[in-house]
Chains A and B, each alone.
Chain A
Amino acid sequence: MSWRKSNILNYFAGQDTPPWRAVLLANVPVAAILLAMIPIGRVLEDNLDPYYLRVVMLIGFNIILAVSLQLINGFSGQFSLGHAGFMAVGAYLAGFPALQYSKDFNDPSTTLIFFISLLIAVGLGAAVLWMFFLGMRRTRHVHRSLPGILLMVLLVWIVTDFAVASKYQHPPFWAFWSLLADSLQGLFGSMMNLLGPMAASISAAMPGAVRRPLCFIVLLYGAGCCASAVGFIVGLPALRLRGDYLAIATLGFGEIIRIAIQNSRPLGGALGLTSIPKYTDFTWLYVVVIITIVAIWRIAYSSKGRAIMAVREDEIAASSIGVNTTTFKVMAFTIGAFFAGIAGALFSLHEQSISPYQFGVVKSIEPVVMVTLGGLGSISGAILAAIVLTLLPEVLRDISPQDRMVIYSLLLVVMMILRPQGLLGGRELWPRRRGPLRSPAPACSERAVPV
């Protein structure tokens, strides 16, 4: 009777195979809460003052960001300061196709094709660069060559922008890169031209009630996947660094992402994207919030989560008992980036206009403050802190944004000196069930499940 410990994640990892019935049963409460969001959303949106509704929505975004950062900063102990970068990736990669291909959310297939073409084009480019780099480094270790690939991808992006920005005769030095970048853009464009109409016809065949939510889900999921791909690419080299170096490197990556977006013509440059169609409402946002919380909770308290926490406690000790530290660090990073990307996507489809300046250093630090205040390693603490820190400036109405940051920073310093473990200090608000609820300890352990 250990089905309560079973979850989908373990199932996919091949660790144990719970009967589907048990999995479904374990997820009934979650499903009930998710369904309950529909009437709650209706009631709130009809009755709540728009101002309060906006605050509630802000709380939702912040909860997603804080909880996903908790997995990186709190559970895996890798101090990341680049969450806004992932959020920016999600926001732009949801806002751009929504603006470009499916302004009325009626075209899920084309949106899907957009993400697939994007991933194929970028993947092909990465493969070319990878081979180029392999030749240079003569190494067979993938992870060693990835930093180089990353740098070259950045280079390609920058050089493409130079080439596009100025009607400039390409100097021979850049020829290879601009050729690659041009061909990638051409590949992407032709895939969209070729597959777009086909996809549009598939979309047209769907019933109307399916198309809009499906398109929204595709947008969210695609943006999340792209953000987590970026998280993977960023994380793999960066996580070789420790402690404060990692913090600085992630900060640098976040800034690079922001500056790259800021200088990219198709993404609107410094002005950003405006008049993005609006879709996110209370129900959608809080459905995602709950999914995020449940997912992070289950990851954190699964056997994978144990490994992640072991890496936090002592990397050398963890690797000596057979935990592949790089894998678990990158796993935490990638999953965190995924949810940050989804938060960004929700944000852009709610705010309707985004600019690179919204995703600066301050935006990265806000969730860090929440996570630290709530207690590193406590999901409920992060939720609590996200709610408190979003409400605080609203309660102190007369306070300007600058003074809000003063309060944040004072909180950080005082908290670190007086109570460095945060509000909840690694514990959860509600007790975590250990083992089955009703049945007593199993008489004979025919299945010894390693915790």
Chain B
Amino acid sequence: MQNVTQFIQQLINGLSLGSIYALIAVGYTMVYGVLQLINFAHGDVFMIGAMVGLYAATGGVPPALPWWLHVVIIGGFIATFAVQWFRGRRPAATFQRILPLMAIYVISIPVLFAASFISRRLSLPAWSATIFVMGFTIATCGTLGYLIERLAYRPLRDRPRINSLITAIGISLLLEYGGQNPRVFGPTPQAYPNQVIPLLNGALVNAHGIVILKIDVLVLALTILIMVGLSFVVLKTRTGLGLRAVSYRFDTAALMGVNINSIVSFTFVLGSCLAAVAGILWGVKYTRVDPLMGLMPGFKAFIAAVFGGIGNITGAVLGAVVLGLIEVMVVGYLPGGSQYKDGVAFVILIAILLVKPSGLLGKNVVEKV
């Protein structure tokens, strides 16, 4: 009886962990499907999600960006105009191109102010508080994902893929170590307080030695919901059609009138939003966040995406759940297993890359000359 209870408990933990991985892995797999790019920074967007969620819930959102950031941003805009003028592009055309960036900057000012105001007097009813924290975090991470794509990856899109990979590593390091700066998040781990998101705390079932937290159920439900939703978006909507076209053949899709830039941006924003949700859930479940926390979950989610067949959303979810289960079982049932927690994922990665590089559900692609 003891064994059965323990096994069921491990199963629940594994499913819950795997579902969080799934939320991150979907972002990896979608970006890879569209751009053939391993977005190393995705794990760090997840970290930013956890951090911003914490700050939004505890009143830590600053009312405005620091002055030097304003200087950098406005200076950047001016420099862009100057450089483009120098290269012979009219300011009006430049304006059109960087309009989204300027819009984000302008909109961010009142949004940040309002968010700071709300987060400081968060005696809202539980539902509203949850919605606010979730919404603000998702908006922040979505914007971040858009900015990363626009500023770092788009200029490199027609260069060799290895350049984008190096840039991705650079962005990832920038977020990790920039976050460790004491002016940003600080290097020390921070505790998610008990009442970050009032609705998500506590156990749903606590009987016969089995504990099912509300968050476990929510994570699992959310994962299923998101999978269904994504399938709908990808299969039934116009954007999804474009997404499939772009992932099938990039250049041909462009020739057929698909707006590549908006499709890629959409992919990044969607992936980053899911990572933000995963970040908050991770924080609530494991109650400890720090700027380097995105590294390992990010790698594992990527491994899960490869495991399931990269570019395939169902495969990513499946791979993530299996990976989560394996990890929890290794920790639970092997002596000294917790030390090998991180190693197991890499062993799985290498095994899958060697045995079936296309993953569980992926299809083989033959390179043609």
A interface residues with partner B (beta carbon < 8 Å): 79, 81, 147, 151, 154, 158, 161-162, 165-166, 168, 237-238, 240-241, 243-245, 247-249, 251-253, 255-256, 259-260, 262-263, 316, 361, 365, 368, 372, 402-403, 405-406, 408-413, 416-417, 420
Instruction: List, in ascending order, chain B residues with CB within 8 A of A81's CB.
Output: 169
Instruction: List, in ascending order, chain A residues with CB within 8 A of B45's CB.
Output: none
- A256-B343 contact in complex given A247-B165, A420-B163, C-beta closer than 8 Å: yes
Instruction: List, in ascending order, chain A residues with CB within 8 A of B88's CB.
Output: none
**Residue with the greatest number of chain A CB neighbours at <10 A, chosen from B161, B163, B166, B349:** B166
Would B173 and A365 count as touching, CB distance under 8 A? Answer: yes
Contact of B156 among A168, A241, A410, A420 (CB under 8 A): A420
Instruction: List, in ascending order, chain A residues with CB within 8 A of B36's CB.
Output: 244
Would A365 and B169 count as touching, CB distance under 8 A? Answer: yes
Would B178 and A412 count as touching, CB distance under 8 A? Answer: no
B208 to chain A, nearest CB (A): 28
CA–CA, A271 and B202, complex, Å: 38
- A151-B336 contact in complex given A243-B161, A372-B166, A402-B180, C-beta closer than 8 Å: no
Would A256 and B165 count as touching, CB distance under 8 A? Answer: no
CA–CA, A420 and B335, complex, Å: 48
A249 to chain B, nearest CB (A): 5
Contact of A416 among B170, B299, B343 (CB under 8 A): B170
- A240-B354 contact in complex given A168-B335, A408-B173, A416-B156, C-beta closer than 8 Å: yes
- Kindly list 13 other residue pairs between chains A and B, CB separation below 8 angstroms, not including A79-B162, A151-B354: A243-B165, A244-B36, A252-B303, A262-B339, A263-B336, A368-B166, A405-B176, A409-B173, A409-B174, A411-B170, A412-B166, A416-B166, A417-B167
Instruction: List, in ascending order, chain A residues with CB within 8 A of B350's CB.
Output: 147, 151, 237-238, 249, 252-253, 256
Determine whether B54 belongs to the interface, using a CB cutoff of 8 Å to chain A.
no
B368 to chain A, nearest CB (A): 10
Chain B contributes a number of interface residues (CB within 8 A of A) equal to: 49
Instruction: List, in ascending order, chain B residues with CB within 8 A of A405's CB.
Output: 173, 176-177
Would A259 and B340 count as touching, CB distance under 8 A? Answer: yes
Interface residues of B in 314-369 (CB under 8 A from A): 334-336, 339-340, 342-343, 346-347, 349-351, 353-355, 357, 367, 369
Interface residues of B in 270-293 (CB under 8 A from A): none
- A255-B342 contact in complex given A402-B177, A413-B174, C-beta closer than 8 Å: yes
Closest residue of B by beta carbon distance from A417: B155
Determine whether B102 belongs to the interface, using a CB cutoff of 8 Å to chain A.
no
Would A412 and B336 count as touching, CB distance under 8 A? Answer: no
Instruction: List, in ascending order, chain A residues with CB within 8 A of B177's CB.
Output: 402-403, 405-406, 409
A–B complex contacts, Cβ < 8 Å, 14 sampled: A158-B340, A237-B350, A243-B165, A248-B353, A255-B343, A256-B343, A256-B347, A259-B343, A316-B369, A403-B181, A408-B173, A409-B170, A412-B166, A412-B167
Instruction: List, in ascending order, chain A residues with CB within 8 A of B357's CB.
Output: 241, 245
Would A245 and B353 count as touching, CB distance under 8 A? Answer: yes
Contact of A162 among B172, B336, B353, B369 (CB under 8 A): B336
Determine whether B59 belongs to the interface, using a CB cutoff of 8 Å to chain A.
no
Contact of B340 among A151, A263, A420 (CB under 8 A): A263
Instruction: List, in ascending order, chain A residues with CB within 8 A of B353's CB.
Output: 238, 241, 245, 248-249
Q: Is the interface of B mostly helix, strand, loop or mixed?
A: helix
**Residue with the greatest number of chain A CB neighbours at <10 A, chosen from B162, B177, B350, B355:** B350
Would A151 and B351 count as touching, CB distance under 8 A? Answer: yes
Instruction: List, in ascending order, chain A residues with CB within 8 A of B174's CB.
Output: 406, 409-410, 413
Interface residues of B in 180-205 (CB under 8 A from A): 180-181, 187
Instruction: List, in ascending order, chain A residues with CB within 8 A of B37's CB.
Output: 244
Instruction: List, in ascending order, chain A residues with CB within 8 A of B245's CB.
Output: none
Instruction: List, in ascending order, chain B residues with CB within 8 A of A365's CB.
Output: 169, 173
Closest residue of B by beta carbon distance from A258: B343
CA–CA, A41 and B162, complex, Å: 40
Would A244 and B165 count as touching, CB distance under 8 A? Answer: yes
Instruction: List, in ascending order, chain B residues with CB within 8 A of A403's CB.
Output: 177, 181
Would A162 and B335 count as touching, CB distance under 8 A? Answer: yes
Instruction: List, in ascending order, chain A residues with CB within 8 A of B161's CB.
Output: 243-244
Closest residue of A by beta carbon distance from B291: A402
Would B169 and A368 count as touching, CB distance under 8 A? Answer: yes
Instruction: List, in ascending order, chain B residues with CB within 8 A of A238's CB.
Output: 350, 353
Interface string of B133-161 (1 = CB under 8 A from A): 00000000000000000001001100101
